[in-house]
Structure formats: C-alpha cells, structure tokens
Structure 1
Amino acid sequence: GVPLHGPRLDVWRATTDNDDGASFQPDVRNGPLWRRHGLHRMRHRTDSVELTPEALVVRTRVAPAASALGLRTVYRWTGTVERLRLTVTVEPEGDWAFPLPRLGVRLGLPSAYGHARWFGGGPGEGYPDTTAAARTGLWRSTVDALQTPYVRPQENGARPDVRWAELTRGPGRPGLRVEADGATCWFTARRWTSEQLDAAGHTTDLTPGETVWVNLDHRMHGIGSQSCGPGVLPQYQLAAEPAEFGFTFSEVAPAT
C-alpha cells in the first residue's frame, strides 16, 4: 500500500571531509580513490528474473562503468502481502583492494512520509567508530531534523544499531515499517539523494524534492579523522567481501 522507488543495492555515500583527506596526508585517501574507481557512478544490470512457488528471485550485476570490478547481487523476495521479506546476497568480482563506503539498499518514498520513528541508536547520528554517544531506545524525529548540517554538505544522519524503523505521514498516520532481519542496521532518511548531497557546495544548494530517500545499511565504513589525522582504523573499515542481509517490509496502520 506504500508506493516505493527501489529498493536496490547502494554502496556510495557523499564523501566526508575525512574521506577526502588532506593533501599533505601520506596515507591512502579513500574519497579520491572511490571516485577513481567509479563508485559514484554505479550501474545496475538485471540478468534474470525468476518466479518460483516460494520466491521472486532477481539476479543483477552492480558495477562502476567501464570497470572489471562488480558486485553480483541477488534479491530474493518472499512472504505475504502483509509482510514482505527481502534477502540480499552480494558476491564481489574483481580485485577490490580498497574498502566500500557502505553496503545496503536504497529506496524512495513520497515526500509526505516525513516522520520517522525507530528503535535503535539515537538521538543523534552514529557511524561504526562514532557511536559512543548513541543510546539504544525508541526515538522519533522528522526527516528534516535527522540531518546534521555540516558546513560543507557530506554524508550525515545515519542512526546505528536500528532494529526497526517506520516512516509515516505523521504521528498515528499510515506509513512503511522496516525490520532488520537477524541483526541491526544503519537507518538514514533525507529529502535528497547521496549524489545531490555530494554535489552540493553549501547547505543552501540542497533543495527538498518529491521523494524521501532511505538507506538501510548492513554495514558502513567508519569516519576516521584523515582531514587532520589518521584514517579509519582497520576494525572499522568495510571490506568488499561476500555478504547476506535482509529486511521485512510491512505497512503501518493508522491509529484508531
């Protein structure tokens, strides 16, 4: 009952100041490296769609344009109309000798779905190496208030360790509920795409559109401090390796 764009695999994020690093840094700077390998222009090719009595299985290849690197991605849909389950499996191809920015799915909802409620880390943002201030609990926010307005627009606003999240038209109104299957996820919602966020030079360049874009991430690369210090520590780096994760989607019924 909720119109959606996607979901489909997403590995890109608007690079942070730390991703881009400083020119005097001797270490590898991931932001420029990701761009050289084309992670900001991934292409999605559907190889097959198979309907079985148990599932709808969509096999795809997600890859940078003009590159031998790729991510073989299978979307397996099961469940019922009331509770629809998506399982995603990812198999890297090629020599991924560098970390991914993120690994999850992106989907879009109409702009009216501007109220969020989630159980997980909050109230502010948190990334693998910046979650010390996050507290697990039940949180509410508008999509607009989820954003962290850094002076230079960049990746922001992810909520860590999320068990489930809802986006609705308002308190007590209908919407979409997403549950992380078997684990937690990172939950991000904003009124512009990562590509629009990445292209903006100032916060005034960010204009809300007709869609609320939602990222549900199985894993995320850390933040580090490479704009002025060391990069992301090894334990917080996101290696490109085989992965499987899933989400269950259902409709939030209006309060009676």
Structure 2
Amino acid sequence: FWRAQTDNDRGVKHGFDRGMWLAAGLYQKHVDAKVEEQADCVTVTFKHQLALAGEYYHTVAYTVDSHGKVTIKLSYPGYENLPSIPAYGMDFKLKAPYQNVRYYGYGPSENYCDRKAGARLGIFETTVKENKAPYLVPQETGNRTGLRWLEVTDELGHGLRFSAGDQAFEGSVLPNSVYELETASHQEELPAAHFVWVRILAAQMGVGGDDSWGAPVHKRYWLDAAKPLTVTFSLEGI
C-alpha cells in the first residue's frame, strides 16, 4: 500500500496525510484461508487484516494449475473515510543474480499515470541497476505503466516471467526495497544491493511535478480508498 515518498510527496506532507498506509501493508496479518480444488488446479485465498484502526481487509488468491503456472489475484474492496492510497500491489524479493529486465509496456524510461505522455508502448530491455534513477534524495523510481509482461532473468536467461491477466499492471524492478528508499536521505546511505525487488501493482498514484514545495498531485491521479483495486497476473519460470 506504500511507495517511497518523492520530493513532491515530502513537499506536500504526503507522509502526514497517508502515512497510515505504510503500517497498513507492512504489519498486516493473516486471518483466514480458503481452499478450492478443481480438476486441473487448486486455489488458496488468504484474507489479511490491515494494520489500521478498524476492520479493514484485502485478499490474495493463488491458483496453481497442473503445469505449475501460478496465477495471483490481489483484491482490495474499497473502504469509505480513509485517505487516498499511494499504491496497491505485491513485492517479490529475488536473489541478486537476476539483474536483466525485459518488458512489454510503456517505456523506455520510467513513467507514471500522470507522467507518461513521452513514453511509448513497446518491448524494452534494461538492468536492475540502470532502472534506479540516481536522484539526490532516494525516492520512488523505475515504475512502468501498461505492462503486459515483465521478465527478470540472470546471465543464463533463467528467471521469472510476470504476465498480466485481464488488464495491464504497473511495476518496477529495483536493487533496493521501498523501505530502504524511504529511509535514506542520500544515495550513499542506501545499503549494498543483496536482492532484486520486483513490484507488481494494480496502480499507484501520480507523482506530480507542478512544484516540490506544496503543490499536490492532481486529484484525478489519486487512488480513492473508497474504490476497489484489483490486479491479476501469472508467474512462470523461464
């Protein structure tokens, strides 16, 4: 539910207004599970309670078919009277050798729902290191919108392929986690990269840019907490 704050976020006191979402996702707890078996697949749906004052939940369903493909569906139902959501999706932590990134979506540079007019739809390649912009203050970076599929591989071409379900997703592949980016004040404060962090998102709010000292992201690029958010994608080995 969180993204590393941008300079624009800090300027508008985004952390004060939406900081509850940092805890909501980081400290959520599993409260229930349901198993459904079919002839060629099995689905396990986990219900998680968010670390918020009140009864708030979302679900994550994993469907494994007879060929080993895993389809994952995240569902947030929407709740009234909560601040808008920075981002909604899932993080994956991979080992460091998986440094090569190839994707079909908008690129070649990072882009966001309110900052993608200069991007084009295509198949692009990059690396985990190159995908992190060297902003003076570490922050949200490397996002791509409109992803149809995303591959993360090692030097031998082995790795994982994330494929969109009925609608494209957003995502990034970075050498640092959201929480490492959030807490560092300068690039040299970031820890050595021991992992590769893959984010698969239903959406994230815009990044703004009118100025960095108080102008908010335009409201049409917010994620209204009262509206449902869902993302479905499959996971296969390469």
Q: Is the 8 A contact 2:21 2:86 kept in 1?
A: no
Shift in alpha-carbon separation, 1:165–1:205, aligned structure 2, 3 A? same
Q: Distance in 2 between matches of 1:143 and 1:249?
A: 19
Shift in alpha-carbon separation, 1:204–1:81, aligned structure 2, 3 A? farther
> Which residue, out of 159, 179, 200, partners 1:195?
179
Partner SS, residue 74 of structure 1: strand
Shift in alpha-carbon separation, 1:109–1:119, aligned structure 2, 3 A? same
Q: Deviations over 1:77-114 (max 9, x none)?
A: 24334322112222245631x21110111111111111
Shift in alpha-carbon separation, 1:47–1:185, aligned structure 2, 3 A? same
User: Equivalent residues in 2 for 1:11-160 (5 A)?
Assistant: 11-21=1-11, 29-35=13-19, 37=20, 39-40=22-23, 42-54=26-38, 55-64=42-51, 67-68=53-54, 70-93=56-79, 95-96=81-82, 98-160=83-145
Shift in alpha-carbon separation, 1:78–1:244, aligned structure 2, 3 A? farther
Residue type matched to 1:39 in 2?
L
Q: Deviations over 1:35-76 (max 9, x none)?
A: 2x25246312112233321333232224236x2263322324
Q: Distance in 1 between matches of 2:50 and 2:68?
A: 33
Residue type matched to 1:134 in 2?
A
Choose 42-51 or 137-146, whichever is displaced more.
42-51
Q: Is the 8 A contact 1:85 1:249 kept in 2?
A: yes
Residue type matched to 2:28 in 1?
H
Q: Distance in 1 between matches of 2:21 and 2:204?
A: 18
Shift in alpha-carbon separation, 1:59–1:93, aligned structure 2, 3 A? farther
Whether 1:248 aligns to 2:234 is: yes
Q: Distance in 1 between matches of 2:105 and 2:112?
A: 13
Unaligned segments of structure 2, at least 5 residues: none
Q: Distance in 1 between matches of 2:11 and 2:49?
A: 27
Instruction: Give the superposition deviation at 1:245.
Output: 1.9
Unaligned segments of structure 1, at least 5 residues: 1-10, 23-28
Q: Give TM-score, length-normalised by structure 1.
A: 0.83
The equivalent of 1:162 in structure 2 is 147
Q: Is the 8 A contact 2:150 2:162 kept in 1?
A: yes
Q: Deviations over 1:220-240 (max 9, x none)?
A: 101113524531112211112
Shift in alpha-carbon separation, 1:74–1:175, aligned structure 2, 3 A? closer
Number of residue equivalences = 232
Partner SS, residue 64 of structure 1: coil
Residue type matched to 1:60 in 2?
K
Q: Is the 8 A contact 2:171 2:199 kept in 1?
A: yes
